[in-house]
Structure 1
């Protein structure tokens, strides 16, 4: 084989290897759906008793039902470097590059002796696709609570949130962005600080790519679980506006708060798929994605009890 032929074959093999590498850590809808069948993430518990007043034409009586609490996979949060390359392959077309959000990746001054790497991550928050499959799985344990997420619904696409996501306007001026120690993932005292929640955009300084992606995912989750934020997004809140917290025997998940599993926890989907959930930061093994693409399922806690009458009288929760 001549030198030119060998060079041609090397180029072809290199191209094929690069193609395999670029898709090796992608994840599809079927894999995400099956990953929701996790008892560890579900964490189903009976936590109390609800009281209802049931009235007929002739009499009224008090009925009871058990109050349960469990987590629901509301959304898949992808955090990735290359614009348009969401690792969840079926939804990647939702966040293609546009005139205001073209490129991505990291930036530096190209000085090997300087630790000045500026990481950038896009983020997409899409309704978890498990839907009916998860409901059937969880219902085997008892009564289940509805979550807020609608399957495959986009709640945040950072390519459409350019002003806030790429320029940190207006959050770069918020006290949480300017005062050290405010809204941080991890802590300085424990020497396990991953990054700051504010400003809730795509840029941060962090040498570990996995930690960078996790911080950005936390930022995206922080936005969508609150209403009235200065971002282009759709709030990930209960669909039935008639349901009010503390009434009708339904207590929806509140706003996501960093370091607090009582507000939500994360299940790794790619580059490694796990059947367990945890909050950021954690000391578990952290796989690095060669293409800078990561995805997690965001599980949020809900509590509810089965309706047994016309009027909800109240509830008693057991001691933890």
Structure 2
């Protein structure tokens, strides 16, 4: 009880720090500001979802034991979408995505006419392992047994500067059906005139007047790549393998919170998570750089025997 009380006090302090940060003006994103962002009950969404069954055998015989099956979200990665190559808003990882001979410039397209809007937007994208694992584990453990995520702190899962052929030229995804047929893999809705953009082709160019919406689509594209295997991109899969009593997150799907959700980190830190398109105020970044934490759902149960017999979900 004393240990649980200590965890609760620590969680409250860090949550207070999170709320304080959300009230401050937008500043450069650092590892120190990322740590308290993991203390979000809304993003965690901790639930008891079922019961697991284990066969435990000793020299005196065997018996079936049970354990609680839980499900909660984990901040696996920080996904950045930014206009200027080499200017990731997360300062400590900025050197990972510096310009190279195949990926130099960035920013919006232009007609060279001041009275006309930019024709296209371009953004780089990086997917880096979230550094708040230790703080998050302490926070999640206060609710009970917690699961392990797939992300490793500071690990680069995707850097668009290293994926220049696909990211800047849409090769080969420009000819995919998802890229050519309207209505496939879209973020938003055409009928309600709230179409943010298409997931395919999963590159850095997008026709979108709103900079926040463009960055959100780019972030979704990067998340879509790293949560699948065998994609035609230069990346490292952000996936864990299932095992007895452990059900990791799978492929991310747009507008589906059951596959993952987003927590805004900059230009304004949010204490809650959502999927795109979201209805919260869309804060525009002055330099065109944005970052979100990607939270993904995991289920697990404590091992209570040598053989896993199965599980029963309440719903």
Whole-Å separation in 1 of the counterparts to 2:27 and 2:120? 23
1:284 equivalent in alignment to 2:280? yes
Q: Distance in 2 between matches of 1:227 and 1:275?
A: 31
Deviates more, 1:152-161 or 1:107-116: 107-116
Q: For 1:130 and 1:259, how far apart are their aligned partners in 2? A: 25
Which of 113-122 and 147-156 deviates more?
Answer: 113-122
Q: Which residue of 2 aligns with 1:83?
A: 85
Question: Of residues 255, 259, 275 in structure 2, which corresponds to 1:259?
Answer: 255
Partner of 1:193: 195
- Which residue matches 1:44? 46
Q: TM-score, normalised by structure 1?
A: 0.89
State the superposition RMSD in angstroms.
Answer: 1.3
Cα deviation for residue 191 of structure 1 reads: 2.1
* Deviation, structure 1 residue 278: 0.1
- The offset of 1:110, in angstroms, is 3.0
Question: 2:217 aligns to what?
Answer: 215
CA contact (8 A) 1:25 1:87 kept: no
> Which among 285, 289, 293 is matched to residue 289 of structure 2?
293
* Structure 1 residue aligned with 2:121: 119
Instruction: Give the distance between the partners of 1:189 and 1:260, measured in 2 at CA.
Output: 19
**Structure 2: stretches of 5+ with no match in the other structure:** 1-24
The TM-score normalised by the length of structure 2 is 0.90
**Structure-2 residue corresponding to 1:101:** 103
2: CA distance, partners of 1:65 / 1:191: 48
1:153 to 149, 152, 155: 155
Greater C-alpha radius of gyration: 1
Q: Is the 8 A contact 1:51 1:65 kept in 2?
A: yes
Does the 8 A contact of 2:255 with 2:276 survive in 1? yes
**Deviation (angstroms), 1:192:** 1.5
Q: Is the 8 A contact 2:42 2:272 kept in 1?
A: yes
Q: How does 1:237-252 map to 2 (within 5 A)?
A: 237-238=239-240, 243-244=241-242, 247-252=243-248
For 1:165 and 1:80, the matched residues in 2 are separated by 13
Aligned residues: 291
SS for the counterpart of 1:215 is helix
Task: Provide the rounded CA distance (Å) in 2 between the counterparts of 1:298 and 1:95.
Answer: 19
- SS of 2:125's partner is strand
**Residue 310 in 1 paired to residue 306 in 2?**
yes
1:87 touches 1:294 (CA, 8 Å); kept in 2? yes
Q: Assess if the C-alpha contact under 8 Å between 1:25 and 1:289 holds in 2.
A: no
Instruction: State the 1:113 CA deviation.
Output: 6.0
SS in 2 for 1:99: coil
2 CA distance for matches of 1:184 and 1:67? Answer: 34
Using the TM superposition, give the Cα deviation of residue 262 of structure 1 relative to its aligned residue in structure 2, in angstroms. Answer: 0.3
Could you say what secondary structure the match of 1:194 adopts?
strand
CA distance in structure 1 between the aligned counterparts of 2:144 and 2:35, rounded to whole angstroms: 21
Over 3 Å counting, the alpha-carbon distance change for 1:58 and 1:276 in structure 2 is same
Please report how far the alpha carbon of residue 144 of structure 1 lies from its aligned counterpart in structure 2 after TM superposition: 0.3
**Alignment partner, residue 10 of structure 1:** none
